[in-house]
Amino acid sequence: MRTDPYRLTVNGRPVEVIDGHAGESLLFVLRERLGLPGSKNACEEGECGSCSVLLDGDLVCSCLVLAAAAADRDVATVEGLSDAGGEVGPLAYVQRAFVEAGAVQCGFCTPGLLMAVDALLCEEPDPDDLTVREAISGNLCRCTGYGRILEAVDRAAAMRREACS
């Protein structure tokens, strides 16, 4: 069943979903209707965190959010992390940290981790190890063993502190 058109604000830009169907997830709408494939679909059950986005500033699994329930709300996706706002452009500090630490292998978990780490560091610029582990505990990585991801978070935190000092 089609829904009435509804609006979202995605990465600061208003967008209208005009051909949505009831029951579609926010992840589906971002990827398939709005052309934003950065958020990944690995489990579609809220288990892996690869689809993580911010909804009104809160980290959520977009596969578990009904798209229509996000109407008139602010959605931030990995495409909006860099200043280029979805276009190809300079990497955000957290993206640079992941690259420099070698924390990206297949890359499937990376968008969700980037969103989780960026959200963490916005709230806690100098997190301790336990806080970092808790913050990324919902993001599964099948490749790296997490060592390099933890190193990337340290690098990102240091970059962010330096930029803010």
Stretch that binds ligand FES, among 71-79, 92-100, 104-112, 128-136 (CB under 6 A): 104-112
Tell me the C-alpha distance between 134 and 54, whole Å.
17
**Is the Cβ–Cβ distance between 78 and 39 less than 8 Å?**
yes
The yes or no reply on residue 151 touching ligand FES (CB under 6 A) is no
Q: Which two tokens stand for residue 82?
A: 């860099």
Phi-psi region at 11: left, alpha or beta (left = phi > 0; alpha = psi -120 to 50)? left
Residue 117: CB minimum distance to ligand FES, A: 13
Strands 58-61 and 52-55: antiparallel
Tokens standing for residue 4: 């009435």
150 binds ligand FES (CB under 6 A): no
Count interface residues toward ligand FES (CB under 6 A): 22
Residue placing its CB nearer to ligand FES in the complex, 80 or 112: 112
Told to check if 95 binds ligand FES by CB under 6 A, we report no
Our finding on whether 111 is near ligand FES (CB under 6 A) is no
d(CA 90, CA 126): 24
From candidates 9, 42, 100, 159, binder to ligand FES by CB under 6 A: 42
Residue 117 binds to ligand FES (criterion: CB under 6 A): no
Question: Which residue, 52 or 82, is less far from ligand FES as judged by CB?
Answer: 52
- State yes or no: residue 141 binds ligand FES (CB under 6 A): yes
Neighbour-count burial for 97-117, b at 16+ CB within 10 Å, e otherwise:
bbeebebbeeebbbbbbbbbb
Please report whether residue 105 would count as binding ligand FES according to CB under 6 A. yes
Q: Which residues does residue 59 pair with via DSSP β-bridges, in sequence order? A: 54
101 near ligand FES, judged by CB under 6 A: no
Residues that bind ligand FES (CB under 6 A): 41-44, 46-51, 61, 63, 104-109, 141-144
